[in-house]
Amino acid sequence: MKIGVLGTGMVGETLATALIQQGHSVRMGSRSAGNDKAAAWAAKHGADASEGSFADAADFGELLFVATHGGSTLHAIQMAGPDNFRDKIVIDVTNPLDFSHGMPPRILKEFQDVSLGEQLQHALPSAHIVKTLNTINSELMVDARHVHGGDHELFLCGDDLASKALVSKFLEQNFNWEAAHIRDLGGISLARTMEAIVPLWVVLYGHLGTGMFNYKIVH
Amino acid sequence: MKIGVLGTGMVGETLATALIQQGHSVRMGSRSAGNDKAAAWAAKHGADASEGSFADAADFGELLFVATHGGSTLHAIQMAGPDNFRDKIVIDVTNPLDFSHGMPPRILKEFQDVSLGEQLQHALPSAHIVKTLNTINSELMVDARHVHGGDHELFLCGDDLASKALVSKFLEQNFNWEAAHIRDLGGISLARTMEAIVPLWVVLYGHLGTGMFNYKIVH
């Protein structure tokens, strides 16, 4: 499958590399084509790996991952050109965190009432935003079995049922998430609850000394 | 031990009843002495159970629980008289949730930047606020073994180390929380992260059809 990954940070790179390993063709997008990190990544991962601008990556992908910094995501989408997202499934893994006031991080002011996931859907009305994977670290995103044999929870939300079903299947087949642990919370407004739990994750990461953990719901 | 419980809702009543069952003397406080629910509760639970105003309960307790509605907590504290909290440990189980915009609930505007736990500490500078128990339902608060044999997490924070140690011991001895599962996140500013995860809890409560669940951290 042709997949575009917007963002060249640790999350974008981990996703892009795992997708190549799963046999997909991946284009990594950044602010401008030829970005050092994106070019180095593409050179390392063979013919199925390419890089370009945000617009190049969005145009290329049949499926898109948005893995940009939370605070610059809406700008990145505008740079990518909203038309390049038309009718596509867009997996939103971003977090609008604000570390400028120290620890614990806050949610950026502009996303406190209306989440980044919701604002992304609003900016791309003809795309199907599915928010997921944002509550865990990137190594765990791409292989659920890294923690407790995969026996822990992944939250997911979005307005389009068919898109959520496809994303769930994709996560199961590519990243080893068991269907029973993929918790569909509801429409994209639920992105609010998923973004809100990430500051606690950051604090626990500091306490536990590792990002390789997750929550399991117990009864 | 003499314990004051501020609040007559489900959380206050569950806490107060469990504390009586553990052999403590408990005074339930409300807006005005003689509140119907508080009087009925006191009549039902024998000589160790009493009721009165917020000020009566705060004055009575050597240890205090604040279990009022989030949005009216700071007003309740003023009614109780800040001097009645001097040098006392105050266990804050409140949540500043706003259901007025529908589901999922939001955090009330006035507590988005500075949490209710922090504002409570600020309003009661001579008391030791320990925020805990707010992330689970009230039946589970008072007996951790109701879920998965007690093998799941309780978050806690506060500025005073000695108070946190005493509260942890209290929760272990009275409510069956194992020390290894009581996660001390840090100072009272961490209350922000603990209040922020409650909207997700409300959503999961709806999906799971029960409030008898919690998170276990897995590695």
Cα-Cα-Cα-Cα torsion B172, B177, B181, B185, nearest 10 degrees, comes to: -70
pLDDT for position B202: 98
**Separation between Cα atoms, residue A212 and residue A137, nearest integer Å:** 7
DSSP state, residue A161? H
Interface test with A, best of B135, B151, B156, B218 (most A CBs within 10 A): B218
Cα-Cα-Cα-Cα torsion B121, A215, B103, A159, nearest 10 degrees, comes to: 140
Contact residues, chain B to chain A, C-beta under 8 Å? 104, 106-107, 112-113, 147-148, 151-152, 155, 183, 185-186, 189-190, 192-194, 196-197, 199-200, 203-204, 207-208, 210, 212-219
pLDDT for position B210: 97
Q: Taking CA atoms, what residue in B is nearest to A106?
A: B113
> Per the structure block, which two tokens stand in for A159?
């307005």
**DSSP alpha helix (H) spans, chain A:** 10-21, 36-44, 54-60, 73-80, 116-123, 138-141, 161-175, 191-196, 198-208
Residues 6+ apart with CB under 8 A from B116: B70, B73, B74, B92, B94, B95, B96, B191, B195
**Could you say which of B148, B192, B199 has the minimum Cβ distance to residue A199?**
B192
**Separation between Cα atoms, residue A131 and residue B64, nearest integer Å:** 41
ipTM: 0.97
pLDDT for position A143: 98
Q: Is B85 left (phi over 0), alpha (psi -120 to 50) or beta?
A: alpha
pLDDT digits (tens, 9 = 90+) for A164-200: 999 999 999 999 999 999 999 999 999 999 999 999 9
Residues 6+ apart with CB under 8 A from B7: B28, B29, B30, B65, B66, B67, B68, B69, B76
Q: Taking CA atoms, what residue in B is nearest to A213?
A: B219
Residue type (1 letter), B14: T
**Separation between Cα atoms, residue A115 and residue A70, nearest integer Å:** 10
Structural domains for chain A: 2-208 (3.40.50.720)
pLDDT digits (tens, 9 = 90+) for B46-76: 999 999 999 999 999 999 999 999 999 999 9
Inter-chain CB proximity A190 and B104 less than 8 Å: yes
Check if the beta carbon of residue A120 is closer than 8 Å to that of residue A73.
Answer: yes
> What three-state secondary structure class fits B19?
helix
pLDDT digits (tens, 9 = 90+) for B13-40: 999 999 999 999 999 999 999 999 999 9
> Per the structure block, which two tokens stand in for A124?
């791309």
pLDDT for position B204: 98
pLDDT for position A36: 96
Element at A64 (helix H, strand E): strand A63-66
pLDDT for position A40: 98
pLDDT digits (tens, 9 = 90+) for B120-174: 999 999 999 999 999 999 999 999 999 999 999 999 999 999 999 999 999 999 9
Closest CA to B65 of B152, B2, B150, B112: B2
Inter-chain CB proximity A104 and B193 less than 8 Å: yes
- Tell me the residue ranges of DSSP E strands in chain B: 2-6, 25-30, 49-53, 63-66, 89-92, 97-98, 106-107, 128-132, 154-158, 182-186, 214-218
How far does the CA of residue A217 sit from the closest CA of chain B (Å)? 5
pLDDT digits (tens, 9 = 90+) for A77-86: 999 999 999 9
Mean pLDDT by 10 residues, chain A (219 residues): 98 98 98 97 98 98 98 98 98 98 95 97 98 98 98 98 98 98 98 98 98 98
- pTM value > 0.95: yes
pLDDT for position A191: 98
